Amino acid sequence: MRLRMTVAYDGSGYAGWQRVATGVAVQEKIEEALKRIGGQPAPIEGASRTDRGVHASGMVAGLDWKHPRMRPMDLRRALNALLPFDLRILDVRRAPKGFHARFDAKRKLYLYRIQNAPVADPLRRGVCWHVPHALDLAAMRAAAAAFVGRHDFSAVAANPGYARASMVRTVRRCEIRKRRDEILFEVEGDGFLYKMVRTMVGTLVEIGGGRRAADSVAALLASRDRRRAGKTAPAHGLCLVKVFYR
C-alpha cells in the first residue's frame, strides 16, 4: 500500500534530508528503521531537499509498504521506537496510488527565526540566528514584498552541483512578523532553489541594518547575479513548516 508520512527533525546533526556521500541524512535513518521493521528495503522520497543543519516540522515522505497487516499507526509507533530522539514520525496514513511526496507538492512553507537582541539566548542557539544590532522592520517588510511573484531567483540561489531546468519560481508570500525579541520570516512558494530562502533572509537583514536600500530587491533579481545579494543566513534558523497538496 502507498503511505504518506509527516516527519519532524532537528537538523543540527544531519547532512540534510537526502542521502549524501558524507554525513548522515534523515532519509537514511528512516530507511534503516523501515528495513529493520519490514525485513527488506523500503525506499522513501521526500517533498524537499533540506540543507545540512536545516530543521523540519512538516516534511512529507512517501513510500510503498509491503506489509498491509501492519496498520499505519502501528508503523508510526514502531518507527519512533527505533529512530533517534531528534527525529520523529508525526503521522502515517494511506495515500492514493501513485502519490509522490515531491512531484505532487503544490506549495511549501518555510519559517526563518532571528533572535534580535543584544545578548543571545543559549536555549535558542540551535533554532535562531542571533543578530545583535537593531533592524528596521519597516524597511525589511517593504523589501520582502518585492520577492513576491514569479521571478528568476538566480541572484539569491547557490550552485547545488547539479543541473537545473529553470531558475524561475513563484513566491506566494514573504512576510515578516515580530514576536517578543524574535523576527520571523514566513516564505511560501511553489518551490525553492538551493539556499534561496537563506539568501533572501541574509539580504533582508542587510537592508534592516541599513547596509542596502529597501528598494534594491527588484534590481537585484533582475541582475541574476548572486554576487549582488547578501550573505547566506545560517542554516539553523530555517525550518520547513508545511507542504501543501491538493
Residue 234 has pLDDT above 90, yes or no: yes
The pLDDT confidence band at residue 98, using thresholds 50, 70 and 90, is very high
Q: What is the second-level CATH architecture of the domain 2-94?
A: 2-Layer Sandwich (3.30)
Residue 68 has pLDDT above 90, yes or no: no
Per CATH, 2-94 and 107-244 having the same topology is answered yes
Longest dimension (CA), the chain: 60
Residue 161 has pLDDT above 90, yes or no: no
Burial 126-143 (b: 16+ CB within 10 A, else e): ebbbbbeeebeeebbbbb
The pLDDT confidence band at residue 2, using thresholds 50, 70 and 90, is very high
Quote the strand ranges of 69-181, DSSP E: 87-94, 107-115, 129-130, 149-152, 168-179
| Cell numbers representing residue 6 in the block | 509527516
Domain extent listing, the chain? 2-94, 107-244
Catalytic residue status for 136: no
The pLDDT value recorded for residue 219 is 97
The pLDDT confidence band at residue 240, using thresholds 50, 70 and 90, is very high
The pLDDT confidence band at residue 69, using thresholds 50, 70 and 90, is confident
H-state helical runs in the chain: 26-38, 72-82, 137-144, 196-208, 217-223
The pLDDT mean for the chain works out to 95
> How many CB atoms sit inside 10 A of residue 236's CB?
19
> Given 51, 91, 181, 190, which residue is catalytic?
51
The pLDDT value recorded for residue 216 is 96
- Mean per-residue pLDDT for 51-65? 97
Taking only the tens place, the pLDDT of each residue in 118-149 is: 999 999 999 999 999 999 999 999 999 999 99
Residue 163 has pLDDT above 80, yes or no: no
Q: What is the CATH number of domain 107-244?
A: 3.30.70.660
